[in-house]
Amino acid sequence: MSSANGYTDDLRLAHLLANDADSIAMSRFKAADLSVTVKPDATAVTDADKAVETALRKTLATARPRDAVHGEEQEDTGWGPRRWVIDPIDGTANYLRGVPVWATLIGLMVDGRVRVGVVSAPALGRRWWAAEGQGAFTGKTLFHGQRLHASGVAEVGDAFLSYSSIGGWMDTPRARAFANLLHDCGRTRAFGDFWSYMLVAEGVVDLACEPQLALHDMAALDVIVREAGGRFTNLDGDPGPVGPGALATNGVLHDDVVARLAPDPR
């Protein structure tokens, strides 16, 4: 449920969920006996992914029994206007290799719009969060956060772009457009996954985009970018965490980049 201050109670719960996720995931990070299987989509899943999602679903079943839950590793449960969206470990490939760039993503959607988001990256010692209408923050705890502000960079030629990989774009009708965008931006780096979008919210990076993402990859990111003053849409410019792909910018650059990423006619 929400408090008189909007989604404060839900944000507090999301932080508690993130605390549990941090503990579970860190206890298995770099473990010699980590269990790994390959899913039908050819992506890896670890026992840590499964344990985190199971624990968060168990807490939600008690704390928000009327809410629906959508996660990466288990079937959807519940129905209604309120839906929690969980990615237990975003960046599983990094997690497997011992790279510290991975996070648990927790979002709350109400009436189809993301209202609360927490991104917790314990191996980086970082956490980001937002509730609609209350701003976006980064810090160690809910009560000790620094407010986030997207950048004011106004020209693509001056912009810093982050992405996950070039390969994901190559078989899409936007491949040439993305290559041109890389060429035109002032600086490009592949920070990847959730981190690209959190850097947009921090104002460190000016835009981030990917060609293919699922709801659990995007929900928590959406509200954090928006509450930092940026914009989060799909590649066609439609608001929200529903594809094709995702584009996050400081807001100033958004319409220009949407136009630049238009697919080639076929």
- For 128-156, the pLDDT digits (tens) are 999 999 999 999 888 889 999 999 999 99
Going by C-beta distance under 8 Å and a sequence separation of 6 or more, which residues neighbour residue 178? 166, 169, 172, 209, 211, 261
Task: Name the DSSP class of 4.
Answer: T
First-to-last C-alpha distance (Å) of the chain: 47
pTM of the entire predicted model: 0.95
Per DSSP, the chain holds a count of helices (H) and strands (E) of 8, 14
**DSSP3 helix / strand / coil % (the chain, rounded to 5):** 35, 25, 40
Per-residue pLDDT of 93-109, as tens digits, reads 999 999 999 999 999 99
- Under the banding of pLDDT at 50, 70 and 90, the label for residue 240 is very high
192: CB partners within 8 A, 6+ apart: 91, 94, 101, 162, 163, 164, 165
**How far apart are alpha carbons 23 and 17 in whole angstroms?**
10
What confidence score (pLDDT) does residue 4 get?
42
| Predicted local distance difference test score (pLDDT) of residue 5 | 56
